[in-house]
Amino acid sequence: MNTQEQMAHIGQAAKQASRQLARLSARKKNSILEAMAEALEAHRTPIQTANAKDLQAGREAGLSSAMLDRLELNDARIDSMIKGLHDVAVLNDPVGDEIAAWNRPNGLHISKVRAPIGVIGIIFESRPNVTCDAAALCFKTSNAVILRGGKEAIHSNLAIANALQEGGEAKGLPPNAIQLVPITDREAVRELCRMTDYLDLIIPRGGEGLINAVAEMALVPVIKHYKGICHTYIDATAKLDMAWAIAENAKCQRPGVCNAMETLLVHQAIADDFLPTMGERLQAAGVTIRGDETTRTHIPSAQAATEEDWFTEYLDLTLAIRVVNDTEAAIDHINHYGSGHSDAIVTQDTESEKQFLAEVDSSSVYVNASTRFTDGAEFGMGAEIGISTDKLHARGPMGLEELTTYKFIIEGTGQIRPSLKHKKS
Q: Can you tell me which of 41, 57, 373, 382 binds a copy of itself, judged by CB under 8 A? A: 373
Among residue numbers 95 through 134, which ones bind a copy of itself (CB under 8 A)? 96, 102, 104, 108, 110, 115, 117-118
Among the listed ranges 30-38, 85-93, 167-175, 404-412, the one in contact with a copy of itself (CB under 8 A) is 404-412
Residues in the chain: 425
Of the two residues 101 and 304, which places its CB atom closer to a copy of itself in the complex?
A: 101
| Residues from 215 through 254 that contact a copy of itself (CB under 8 A) | 215-216, 219, 221, 223, 239, 242, 245-246, 248-250, 253-254
- Residue type for position 326: D
Distance CA 263, CA 257 (A): 14
Q: Indicate the DSSP class of residue 127.
A: -
Near a copy of itself in 196-215, by CB under 8 A = 200-201, 215
Q: Which long-range contacts (CB under 8 A, 24 or more apart) does 302-310 make?
A: 309/263, 310/263, 310/337
Q: How many residues bind a copy of itself (CB under 8 A)?
A: 74
Q: How far apart are CA 277 and CA 332, in angstroms?
A: 26
Q: Which span sits near a copy of itself by CB under 8 A: 47-55, 150-158, 172-180, 388-396? A: 388-396
The one-letter amino acid code at 146 reads I
Upper half-sphere CA count for residue 254 (Cβ side, 13 Å): 8
Written as one letter, the residue type at 89 is: A
**Euclidean distance between CA atoms 220 and 215, whole angstroms:** 9
Within 10 angstroms of residue 369's Cβ, the number of other Cβ atoms is: 15
Q: Rule CB under 8 A: which of 8-27 touch a copy of itself?
A: 19, 22-23
**Strand ranges, E, within 251-349:** 261-267, 288-291, 303-304, 318-324, 342-346
Q: Is 397 helix (H, G, I), strand (E, B) or coil?
A: strand
Least distance to a copy of itself, CB of residue 375, Å: 9
Minimum separation from the CB atom of position 64 to a copy of itself (A): 15
Nearest-approach distance from CB 70 to a copy of itself, in angstroms: 7
Residue 211 contacts residue 193 (beta carbons within 8 Å): no
The one-letter amino acid code at 255 reads P
Assess 285 for contact with a copy of itself (CB under 8 A).
no
Quote the least distance from Cβ 226 to a copy of itself, whole Å: 11
What is the C-alpha separation between 372 and 7, in angstroms, rounded?
39
Asked if 369 interacts with a copy of itself (CB under 8 A), we say yes
Which segment (86-94, 171-179, 264-272, 417-425) binds a copy of itself by CB under 8 A? 417-425
Distance in Å, CB of 221 to a copy of itself, minimum: 5
Out of 34, 151, 367, 382, name the contact with a copy of itself by CB under 8 A: 367
| DSSP H stretches of helix in 72-176 | 75-90, 129-140, 154-169
304 binds a copy of itself (CB under 8 A): no
Indicate the residue among 185 and 336 with the shorter CB distance to a copy of itself: 336
Torsion of CA 199, 205, 208, 213, to 10 degrees: -20
By the 10 Å C-beta count (0-12 exposed, 13-18 middle, 19+ buried), 41 is classed as: middle
Site for a copy of itself contains 379 (CB under 8 A): yes
Under rule CB under 8 A, residue 390 binds a copy of itself: yes
Residues 316-355 that bind a copy of itself (CB under 8 A): 332, 335
Binding piece for a copy of itself, criterion CB under 8 A, among 39-47, 179-187, 304-312, 406-414:
406-414
State how far the Cα of 366 lies from the Cα of 353, in Å rounded to an integer: 9
x/- letters, 42..81, toward a copy of itself (CB under 8 A): ---------------------------xx------x----
Q: Which stretch binds a copy of itself (CB under 8 A): 166-174, 289-297, 301-309, 360-368?
A: 360-368
Among residues 2, 185, 307, 416, the one that binds a copy of itself under rule CB under 8 A: 416
DSSP 363: S
Q: How many Å apart are CA 207 and CA 1, to the nearest integer?
A: 31
Question: Exactly one of 126, 141, 364, 389 binds a copy of itself (CB under 8 A); which one?
Answer: 364
Measured from the CB atom, the residue of 158 and 201 that comes closer to a copy of itself is 201
Structural contact between residues 183 and 189, judged by C-beta atoms closer than 8 angstroms? no
Q: Which of 93, 372, 376, 398 binds a copy of itself (CB under 8 A)?
A: 372
Q: Give the interface segment with a copy of itself, choosing from 41-49, 51-59, 315-323, 412-420 (CB under 8 A).
A: 412-420
Residue 381: CB atoms within 10 Å = 17
Distance in Å, CB of 195 to a copy of itself, minimum: 14
User: Which one, 251 or 290, has the nearer CB to a copy of itself?
Assistant: 251
